Amino acid sequence: MKILVCVKQVPDTEEIKIDPVTGSLIREGVPAILNPLDACALEAAVRLKEAYGGTVTVLSMGPPQAKEALKQCVAVGADEAVLITDRAFKDADTLATSYALSMTARQLDAFDLIVCGKHTLDGETGQVGPQIAEHLDWSQVTHVMDMKVEEGKLLAVREMEEGREVVEAMLPCVVSVTKTLYKPRYPTIKSKLAAGKKEILTLSADEIENLDKERIGMAGSRTKVAKSFTAPTGQAGMIIQEETAEASGRKLAQILLEAKLV
């Protein structure tokens, strides 16, 4: 089974700030991490590889530093890593991003499955995975928390508002993964050392066959960010601490009643 996992290096949200003047994310000095749901997507893919054999390739679009995130992926089970990096990709929205990723996927191999994290910490659109499926004209399953392959078909467990749903899908297929039932594994000392030495394949826009330059980067973007701002954070909470737990409970009930919340 040939699996492609699309990942993104994102700023650690714990540290994220927005420039009040330009409205863009301030990335300087903010530690970059592998998007957490992409780590889940990779773990799910590596588990499939371990169960059925095959390979896992990771693909990212981003600046050269994104190689670090790809090396992290290699340390936890990815066999190959590819970075598409070019000024021409800059300021891409989800449509331009998914187009570039899907064209690269076509060129790299005949994949059976493409796995993405459901959304990224910085953009939070959740659009790239489904759009890749549309570009490739493949079936797609979203909100997946676990999957397996039976008789050449994918069986995916979807997380629903109320309960779970098992969906059968034909391969090839694009899956977007939410928080998986299992945690992403830690690398080992050995795998970390080996990943550090791993050659990351880097492709520029010119090196991707049949890539329509009008459909990538800012030129290919159909959306523009009009404004971004730091949302007001929630108000400080209230701590109720009476003499006894019972008194605390009564006080809480009284406050909730007064606020007409119960």
Partner 1 sequence: MAIILTEEQKELKALIREFMENEVIPFAQEYDERGEFPEEILKKAHEMGLGCMNIEEEFGGSGLNNETMAVLIEEMAYGEAGVSTSLTVSGLAYECIRDFGSQEQKKLIGEAIVAGKYISFALTEADSGSNAGAARCGYVADGDEYVINGSKAFITNASYADYHLVFATKDPALGVRGLSAFIVANDTPGVSRGKKENKMGLRLSNTSDLHFDNVRVPKDMLVGKEGLGFKMAMTSLDVGRILIGAAATGIAQRALDESVKYAKQRSPFGQPIATHQAVQFIIADMAIEIEAARLLTKNAAILKDQGMRISKEAAMAKSFASDVAMRATTDAVQILGGYGYSKEYPVEKLMRDAKVYQIFEGTNQIQRMVIAGAVLKE
Strand order across the beta sheet in which 55-61 lies: 164-170, 153-159, 139-150, 173-177, 113-117, 2-6, 55-61, 80-84, 201-203
Interface with partner 1 (CB under 8 A), residue total 8
Shortest reach from residue 46's CB to partner 1, in Å: 14
Name which of 76 and 154 has its Cβ closer to partner 1.
Answer: 76
Quick one: residue 91, left, alpha or beta (phi over 0 = left, psi -120 to 50 = alpha)? left
Q: What is the footprint of partner 1 within residues 147-206 (CB under 8 A)? A: 186-190, 192-193, 196
* Partner residues linked to 32 by β-bridges: 11
Could you tell me which of 137, 168, 139 has the C-alpha nearest to residue 151?
168
Shortest reach from residue 158's CB to partner 1, in Å: 28
Name which of 23 and 196 has its Cβ closer to partner 1.
Answer: 196
Name which of 190 and 222 has its Cβ closer to partner 1.
Answer: 190
Name which of 71 and 135 has its Cβ closer to partner 1.
Answer: 71
Shortest reach from residue 185's CB to partner 1, in Å: 8
Q: Does 254 help bind partner 1 (rule: CB under 8 A)?
A: no
DSSP string, 189-225: HHHHHHHHHPPPEEE-GGGSTT--GGGSTTTT-S---
Shortest reach from residue 120's CB to partner 1, in Å: 20
Name which of 193 and 257 has its Cβ closer to partner 1.
Answer: 193
**3-class DSSP state of 228:** coil
| List of residues contacting partner 1 (CB under 8 A) | 186-190, 192-193, 196
